[in-house]
Structure 1
């Protein structure tokens, strides 16, 4: 199996719904929830972020597509490795995107380390994101709490992808558009089922509340359970809480 689709959009741009849609179309898809279930991946991504030589193809041996962090930060490198792959840039209104990130995945980053000790699976994600996404050397250069700077980084990323990827290989996509543009771009028949919608944000907020109150997450699950729980975040027909 080789990577056919590179998702260049940041997390919280409907990437979970997009992952589910791609899988429904026959493209096994890598997402942060997959990384949670394969924790050794985080070391590879951190090394890649730091400029060390790594073999990213080992991560994608069983995948035909990728969306969300960590891989979206490496869209250029992945285009070089997989020159025939198409690129999907998932987009969203910058204000709504910022509010969604701030109230979900970024809140995990702000929890005291002492509260995280009993949740090693979440701590692993936090350590990677602090290193490569939120921190001084990461995507947001320790400036995510400044809304205008964070939103400008988000917008600049979108524009860079649009400038850099040949138009015939790029789909700029918002999940509210549904199946039609996605299937046309991938030359796939349109499914009869509704486009996947997920309530991942509410689930992440529930996990945060569990951590803050010291409650077990699903009775102290192992790592794959956490990834599966997030991956199976409550689907809501016709509505997206992304």
Structure 2
């Protein structure tokens, strides 16, 4: 593990994800933590819990990780990789952050394709079960049907989680070397990031992702994991059509 992004989601993490990939890092974002480390994370989030050794095994072959639940457990991951570089997106007030978070979850709730995939794709079904536990630990999601995941969250509780998370990081920042800790905003561009990581500055513009809460649409378009979910849904629909056709044909003869 070389880089750990410890800011909450909705603070420019998707832009930073794309930037780190362009700099040559193998990055585990939200969907990668789910797809590749779901079993390990479910252990951490359950009554069994996780150990430093668990986190080491999870990330020993990964260059960078971010988003929930990894950013929530930044101290535990840092204990397993004490020399990893930390990047903190400290760029939104709690009200600004909540507004951005709420807009994204509302857009996801309106996405009919995602709702359909929840029941027609085994991978999507597993994602929502996983997300249910991640939402509980990260932003205080209440007990609810698993496919609601990040809905019905108290803004008071969520903003408290965000505020406490950032306060703990700012306190820690005073104890660590500037060579290991970077406070960053995507609007700063490549310069501070590449200087911190010792990488040459790319010629292209710094990426800006998830504009206007477009995260779900972007994932459905660009993520191989979400494309797999769409493929699985297509197979399920085809099977259902065949079954209905057979039943109709049988009823006629």
TM-score (norm 2): 0.70
Q: 1:206 to 1:5 in 2, by over 3 A?
A: closer
Pairing 1:12–2:10 present: yes
| 1:121 corresponds to which of 120, 123, 126 | 123
For residues 24-60 of structure 1, what are the alpha-carbon distances to aligned partners after superposition, in whole Å with 9 as ceiling and x for unaligned? 222221111323543xx11211211235245223332
Would you say 1:74 and 2:73 are equivalent positions? yes
The C-alpha deviation readout for 1:70-123, integer Å capped at 9, x for no partner, is: 311211011111111111112332333222222324765899x98531133333
Partner of 2:96: 96
Q: Is 2:36 the partner of 1:28? A: no
**Conserved in 2, the CA contact under 8 Å of 1:108 and 1:126?**
no
- Equivalent residues, number: 209
2:43 aligned with 1:43: no
- Secondary structure at the aligned position of 1:104 is classed as helix
Map 1:178-193 onto structure 2 (within 5 A).
Answer: 178-193=189-204
TM-fit CA distance, 1:183: 1.4
SS in 1 for 2:38: helix
Q: CA deviation at 1:180?
A: 1.5
State the alpha-carbon separation in 2 of the partners of residues 63 and 96 from structure 1: 31
Identify if the C-alpha distance between structure 1 residues 84 and 219 changes in structure 2 by more than 3 Å, giving closer, same or farther.
Answer: closer
Tell which structure's C-alpha radius of gyration is larger.
2
TM-score by length of 1: 0.72
Structure 1 residue 220 corresponds to structure 2 residue 230: yes
Counterpart pick for 1:204 among 194, 216, 234: 216
**C-alpha distance in 2 between matches for 1:139 and 1:154:** 9
2:58 paired residue number: 59
Q: 2:157 aligns with which of 139, 149, 156?
A: 149
Whether contact under 8 Å (1:36, 1:121) holds in the other structure is: no
Moved more, 4-13 or 47-56: 47-56
CA RMSD of aligned residues (A): 3.3
Where do residues 131-150 of structure 1 align in structure 2 (5 Å cutoff)? Answer: 131-133=133-135, 135=136, 138-142=137-141, 145-150=153-158
Give the secondary-structure state (helix, strand or coil) at the position aligned to 1:198: coil
